[in-house]
A = this chain, B = another copy of it.
């Protein structure tokens, strides 16, 4: 069924982030849309950020484009050069390989929902702007290459 029954897809706040980086995304509830629909050439997630939650640690992807469309609520987009308010209907995009980390923070008192799309090589890795961490296909490392013990959720 091409119209996605979003409510029927199980929602999780699971993360592979090692402590203490997992705390900021505890209120991030996501659903993977691609497995439910048969998409194989892009990734798509429906994400709800509860008040206070972050979409991720601030990061970039080396080989994957990302795009988000805000469905409801208000998110603050944080990047190297400052903050931008995103509201329902706003669209933001981050090309692969641009080393300006981004994430969304819900600083409001209401939930914020958005769709996030990714395309390209999701195994190409990337890095986090504000913490001593990078990511590879299956895991996380310190910036000196020492692995963290936890695995990425794919």
Give the oligomeric copy count.
2
Q: For the side of the interface on A, what is the size category?
A: 35 or more
A93 and B2 in contact (CB under 8 A), knowing A69-B69, A115-B69, A119-B119? yes
Residues on the B chain within 8 Å of A129, using CB: none
Would B2 and A46 count as touching, CB distance under 8 A? no
In the complex, which residues 59-105 of chain A have their Cβ closer than 8 Å to any Cβ of chain B? 63-65, 67, 69, 71-72, 77, 79, 84, 86, 89-96, 98, 102
How would you classify the secondary structure of chain A's contact residues: helix, strand, loop or mixed? strand
Q: How far is the CB of A130 from chain B (nearest CB, A)?
A: 17
Would B90 and A3 count as touching, CB distance under 8 A? yes
In the complex, which residues 94-149 of chain A have their Cβ closer than 8 Å to any Cβ of chain B? 94-96, 98, 102, 113, 115, 117, 119-120
List the interface of chain A (C-beta within 8 A of B). 1-4, 6, 33-34, 37-42, 44, 46, 63-65, 67, 69, 71-72, 77, 79, 84, 86, 89-96, 98, 102, 113, 115, 117, 119-120
